[in-house]
Amino acid sequence: MTAAAVSPLPMQSVLHPAGPDAHAIGVLGWTMTAAAAVIFVGVMWLVLRTWQRRGTVRTRTWIIGGGLLFPGAVLSALLLWSLVSTKDLTHTSSQAGMRVAVTAKMWWWEVRYTDPATGRDVVLANEIRVPVGRPVYLGLTTSDVIHSFWVPALAGKVDMVPGRVHGLMLHADRAGVFRGQCAEFCGAQHAKMAMHVVAMPPAEFDAWLAVQARDAAPPANAQLLRGREAFLERRCDACHVVRGVSDRALLEKATLGPDLTHVGSRLYIAAGTLPTHAGTLAGWVADPQSIKPGARMPAASDLAGEDLRAMAAWLESLK
Ligand SMILES: [Cu+2]
């Protein structure tokens, strides 16, 4: 699935639920809205009536009836309804068939899968793919400040707190791309801290994960080779892992920036900021600060044009 296939805007809406949990939350939201609307209309009707008829008002009756009994009954009913209707939310359990660890960073998301074939970690960024119909457990944490994980079309919102792991179940019942957003102010680029959940048929998902678990493909031509050389010469691997390319000693340590082993296969770069292609990659590498001021990546503005183009082409080729 490419970014083009996904346009114009991937759905980020509680009003378009794409899973049983989001559906339950949606129904609850509509019930609350409907109840509030009925009460609002009723109160406005009473206001109009008192304007029209100027009689005496039985104060005590209205205070006890309208001020205490009515809200007490209505709020209790809505509370009961919310307990009943959210009872069936997928039980949060780290024993679920599939687990994914998500670590929020200022201002992107590290996503960690386990390769079913080898048991090794497969590290990605800003994109979570899930098989349709299978609940997935997300272990959510952060390596710096508090962030919050929210993909409205699929599940509720859960804070990501330093030193803790909070669980959340993602359960998609149809294929699609669902946008999510950090929902807790976390600094200058909080607004550009988005992510995408891609729900795909289980067989496609398994094939995708197998590809993500592989090392980066070797460069297929001289330009891509030059791009890879430039990446190593510039020491980009101090912050970014490219499996099969980075120095072995750096594999577990270079975690300041997203793992780029398969960056070309992701829909967006820089946490949902730009669609992935050679042009945006070149723009980002040359001057990330003009795109995302404060982002924790230095500019490579002095890179020769030829090297920059080669590097962008190589990054795009990492499917
Ligand atoms: Cu944030």
pLDDT for 87-137, tens place per residue?
A: 888 888 888 779 999 999 999 999 999 998 999 999 999 999 999 999 999
Calculate how far, in angstroms, residue 135's C-alpha sits from the geometric centre of ligand 1: 25
Average pLDDT over residues 25-43: 93
Q: How far is the CA of 260 from the centre of ligand 1 (A)?
A: 22
- Residue 3 is predicted with a pLDDT of 45
Q: How close is the Cα of 161 to the center of ligand 1, in Å?
A: 12
What's the mean pLDDT when you consider all of the chain?
A: 92
CA distance 13 to 11: 6
pLDDT band per the 50, 70, 90 thresholds, residue 4: very low
Instruction: Compute the distance from residue 160 Cα to the ligand 1 centre, in Å.
Output: 10
Taking residues 265-269, report their average pLDDT. Answer: 97
Lowest mean pLDDT among 5-9, 67-71, 275-279: 5-9
pLDDT in tens, 199-222: 999 999 999 999 999 999 999 999
Superfamily holding 98-211: Cupredoxins -  blue copper proteins (2.60.40.420)
**Least confident range of 67-76, 78-87, 289-298:** 78-87
Residue 85 binned pLDDT confidence (cut-offs 50, 70, 90): confident
- pLDDT value for 160: 97
Res 53: pLDDT: 80
Considering the chain, what percentage of its residues have pLDDT values greater than 90? 79
* Token output for 178: 């669902």
pLDDT of residue 95: 82
Distance 149 CA to ligand 1 centre (A): 9
Furthest C-alpha separation in the chain: 92
Neighbours of ion ligand 1 (CB under 5 A): 147, 182, 186, 190, 193
Mean local confidence (pLDDT), 153-169 = 95
- What does the block give as tokens for 180? 């999510």
Residue 301 pLDDT grade (very low, low, confident, very high; cuts 50, 70, 90): confident
Specify the pLDDT at position 9.
58
pLDDT of residue 7: 45
| pLDDT at residue 292 in the model | 97
Residue 119 CA to residue 23 CA, distance in Å, equals: 34
Sign of CA dihedral 112, 115, 120, 122: negative
Cα 178 to averaged position of ligand 1 atoms, centre (Å): 18
CA of 234 to the centre of ligand 1 (A): 30
DSSP secondary structure code for residue 217 in this structure:
P
Q: Separation of 60 CA from ligand 1 center, angstroms?
A: 49
Residue 248's pLDDT is: 77
Length of the chain: 319
**Does the domain spanning 222-317 belong to CATH 2.40.50.140?**
no
Separation of 253 CA from ligand 1 center, angstroms?
24
Distance set, CA 249 to CA 41, 78, 141, 212, 244 (Å): 67, 57, 26, 21, 12
Backbone angles phi, psi at 114, to 5 degrees: -110, 130
Phi-psi region of 278 (alpha: psi -120 to 50; beta: other; left: phi over 0): alpha
